[in-house]
Structure 1
Amino acid sequence: MDFTRDETQEAIAQVATGLLDRDLEGDALWRAFAEADLLTLALPERLGGEGLSVTDVGALLTEVGRSAAVIPALATLGFGVLPLVALGDERQQGELLSGLADGRTFTAALAEPGRPFPAPPSVTAVAEGSDYLVTGCVVAVPYAEGAHRILVPTDVGVVLVQPGSDGVSLTPTPSSSGSPEFAVTFDGARGELLAGGPEAVQQLYRIALASIGAVADGLLSGATLLAGGHLATRQQFGKPLATFQAVAQQIADVYVTSRTLHVSALSASWRVSQGLDAQDDLDVMAYWIAAEVPAAMQVLHHLHGGIGVDVTYPLHRYYSTAKDLARLVGGASYRLDLVGARCSSI
């Protein structure tokens, strides 16, 4: 496959980079993304979007990761908009996605206590009229409090729940990056079925994982570029740090990790976009995120010396976000078990 971005993806990346270079933060940056129509790219043309794919939107998420921007792009686009377009009917899409131009956010519940990407989910949904009553507990739900809807995997499929509904309890939980994250308890909370069956749940998981991979790709690439600039300009014994053999070897190892993740993330995203079997690629990519990305970030901290742990220097945003993503995909041991199980079944 050709890993070069096409014209559309390049245009998306250039617009995103231009906004990210304006030193906007938080809500101001999110509003700028909305005003630039970056949040509606995946919407069907009938809703004013471009009908772009998971890979196309991934180009945007990669640039968000490359700047380590703390905005709800991954939660809204990767966990919300793309699954809604893939699974929702025309009525649901029209009602739910109409507010994206104004900065509406979404998120998904991808983990239960001790069970990342649970299959089958232990959260239950019981039909009552045209609605479903959802009961269960989920954790590590990013940006849940302000989300328009939470996409909840249940035993009957993916259900849409409003975070402010009766029967929904949100408990703030810590994240490494400081971005808002919640444990959510549903006690007969009323919701709407987005799509039924276990395949709908798996489709949500595939799109979410591919989107996580896009962010992680940009994250490690951006941190590597940051370290490379530091090593080229910081001098010791009258020479740039980059000229020392041990330093050059370590940054080269990180570069190899970064490029490997790039290939893995793009391959997984492309297969998801094309409707091909992507599980092998997603499992390998997720293991790389959980095991190799945090280790690479530790090396970059080491290469920066004391400045690397200074919270006024941007490297800490890359490392803390990388730890959040590694936790979100389930950790290295869990991901290695999945890869091993697939290898042993060949």
Structure 2
Amino acid sequence: MDFTLDDTQREIAGLAADVLRREVDLARPAGPLGYDEQVWRALGKAGLLSLALPPELGGAGLGIAEVAVLLTELGRAAAPVPALTLALGVLPLELLGTPDQRAALLPEVATGDALVTAALHEPSSPLVTEPATRAVAEDGAWTLTGTKTGVPFAAAATRILVPAAMPGGTGVFLVDPAAPGVTVAGGSVRLERVSVEEAGLLRDREPGEAIATLRRLAVAGAVALGDGVLAGALTLTKEHVARREQFGRPLAAFQAVAQQIADVYIASRTVHLAAQSAVWRLASGLDPQPDLEVAGYWLAEEGPKALAVCQHLHGGLGVDITYPLHRYYALGKELSQFLGGAQDRLGELVR
């Protein structure tokens, strides 16, 4: 087990950090799609959105380990981009999509001109494995009915990966959010007799493979992104308490401040280790459990607490919209909610 980044991964991290330093503008508001399209397209132009694509589609032919490195850098900068869609759309399509599905969607995703996301939550059921959404065979196609919640960037998506119960198990369907019967409101997606052709069903080489793979990639992507969020917030806070003085001394010189920043460091390093272990096992073709659930639980339980400490140590500066800390806090909270919260993660770990 060796978590040291190889040369390719170091180059990805360095390139991503360089692009983000140049392109992220805290004063620029999010675009109509809910994210900074200029930054996202810059990442695409640098080849970072096509890391997992096969060479025949213009990609680098890399995998989850390299995408996780990119996600961590996006989290470290709290970049206002749809980072999680790399784990919810690009990776599942590359692993489970048919050649036609991949050729139709992935090239535009790689340039930043299209988004693919996934609908993994249902009311009161985060990261659902047995969805209430139903798929019924009718007239040579599938008809989907159900409600999904907490779908990242649903309004901006070109396609949404939708798990649905079908005869013999659970299938994952590519749904066009503009199709008749689809209603998108914020992060909620309602499906009312939505027709999806057989060609819109992801491959399921054995029962339950598609939903299990999608779920693993979603959690891995979230913890890799969260790893960067905590690391970035920790760096920002360390620099602040080292510079800011009170009673003629830097805040960092006070024992209570040092203890609090140490707690943030412990939370950050634990998420980092758990995320790396889970991603390494996924990339090596090994069972990522229970490492994946440990990382998800720790991020959902300790991540928001650590970010709250960072806010506390910044005082009023932490909520200033011209200062980046509020981005880290908001993104960390979103990731905890995406994972279903600490109690759900703990229950999954127990199971």
The TM tier, using the shorter chain, reads: over 0.9
Q: Pick from 307, 311, 322: which aligns with 1:297?
A: 307
| Distance change (3 Å), C-alpha of 1:184 and 1:36 | same
CA shift for structure 1 position 23: 4.1
CA shift for structure 1 position 228: 0.4
Please name the residue that 1:184 is paired with: 189
- Cα displacement string for residues 257-297 of structure 1 (whole angstroms, at most 9, x for unaligned residues): 10110000011111122221112111111111110000001
**Counterpart contact for 2:241–2:251, Cα < 8 Å:** yes
CA distance in 1, matches of 2:20, 2:144: 38
**Which amino acid counterpart does residue 329 of structure 1 have in structure 2?**
L
- Cα displacement string for residues 156-209 of structure 1 (whole angstroms, at most 9, x for unaligned residues): 31100001000100112xxxxxxxxx2000011122111244221010000111
Please name the residue that 1:80 is paired with: 89
CA shift for structure 1 position 85: 0.7
The two structures, once aligned, show a CA RMSD in angstroms of 1.3
Which ranges in structure 1 are unaligned for 5 or more consecutive residues?
A: 173-181, 342-346
TM-score (norm 1): 0.93
Q: Pick from 72, 77, 101: which aligns with 1:62?
A: 72
| Distance change (3 Å), C-alpha of 1:260 and 1:94 | same
Q: Pick from 168, 171, 175: which aligns with 1:161?
A: 175
Q: Pick from 132, 149, 162: which aligns with 1:122?
A: 132
CA shift for structure 1 position 129: 5.0
CA shift for structure 1 position 130: 5.0
Identity across the alignment (%):
50
| Distance change (3 Å), C-alpha of 1:23 and 1:47 | closer
- Cα displacement string for residues 209-244 of structure 1 (whole angstroms, at most 9, x for unaligned residues): 101111000000000000000011111111111111
**Which amino acid counterpart does residue 193 of structure 1 have in structure 2?**
L
**Counterpart contact for 2:158–2:177, Cα < 8 Å:** yes
Q: Secondary structure at the match of 1:270?
A: helix
**Counterpart contact for 1:112–1:137, Cα < 8 Å:** yes
Between stretches 94-103 and 142-151, larger displacement belongs to 94-103
Between the two proteins, the alignment pairs up a number of residues equal to: 331
Please name the residue that 1:324 is paired with: 334
CA distance in 1, matches of 2:266, 2:231: 10
Q: Pick from 196, 202, 213: which aligns with 1:194?
A: 202
Residue 105 of structure 2 corresponds to residue 96 of structure 1: yes
TM-score (norm 2): 0.91
**Counterpart contact for 2:121–2:128, Cα < 8 Å:** yes
Please name the residue that 2:31 is paired with: none
CA shift for structure 1 position 340: 2.6
Q: Pick from 111, 120, 126: which aligns with 2:121?
A: 111
Q: Pick from 252, 256, 263: which aligns with 1:253?
A: 263
Residue 17 of structure 2 corresponds to residue 8 of structure 1: no
- Cα displacement string for residues 125-164 of structure 1 (whole angstroms, at most 9, x for unaligned residues): 1233553211100001111122111001111311000010
CA distance in 1, matches of 2:303, 2:290: 19
Please name the residue that 2:282 is paired with: 272
Residue 273 of structure 2 corresponds to residue 263 of structure 1: yes
**Counterpart contact for 1:120–1:198, Cα < 8 Å:** no
CA distance in 2, matches of 1:338, 1:5: 30
CA shift for structure 1 position 24: 3.0
Please name the residue that 1:288 is paired with: 298
Residue 148 of structure 2 corresponds to residue 134 of structure 1: no
| Distance change (3 Å), C-alpha of 1:336 and 1:282 | same
| Distance change (3 Å), C-alpha of 1:292 and 1:32 | same
Please name the residue that 2:30 is paired with: none
CA distance in 2, matches of 1:336, 1:40: 34
Which ranges in structure 2 are unaligned for 5 or more consecutive residues?
A: 26-35
Q: Secondary structure at the match of 2:90?
A: helix
Q: Secondary structure at the match of 2:162?
A: strand
- Cα displacement string for residues 105-140 of structure 1 (whole angstroms, at most 9, x for unaligned residues): 110001001101111111111233553211100001
**Which amino acid counterpart does residue 60 of structure 2 have in structure 1?**
E
